Amino acid sequence: MEQRRGRISDRIKQRSLDLLGYEISQVELRLMPYILNVMMNDQRIDPRKINHEERGILSKWRKAGYLAGGMSLMEVTKEFWDILCEIAFLGYVDIDY
């Protein structure tokens, strides 16, 4: 059994297509646990911990209506929270047999 942590799998591609309407990138997958952590703690993104590409992903999520606010006091919808949890579970917890 190899737990392909943080790597895009066919299941992640399909599930992101089902939930978000597109296949997520590797960078997007790896940003999701950070956003979950941010939201469970102080709702503030540390600008030193994200790069230009990740800022673009956050902008895309804002435009889609999943996020509100800026780097501080970020808010997420319940729908997006559930999506983040499901995809992060597939990418970091579930063992792909």
Domain that holds residue 18: 10-91
Per-residue pLDDT at 2 exceeds 70: no
Residue 27 falls within a domain, yes or no? Answer: yes
SS3 per-residue string spanning the chain: CCCCCCCCCHHHHHHHHHHHCCCCCHHHHHHHHHHHHHHHCCCCCCHHHCCHHHHHHHHHHHHCCCEECCCCCCEECHHHHHHHHHHHHHHHCCCCC
Residue 96 falls within a domain, yes or no? Answer: no
Type of residue numbered 20: L
Residue 5 falls within a domain, yes or no? Answer: no
Residue 2 falls within a domain, yes or no? Answer: no
Q: Using pLDDT thresholds of 50, 70 and 90, give the confidence band for residue 1.
A: very low
Per-residue pLDDT at 36 exceeds 90: yes
Q: Give me the chain's average pLDDT, please.
A: 90
What is the arithmetic mean of pLDDT over 50-64? 95
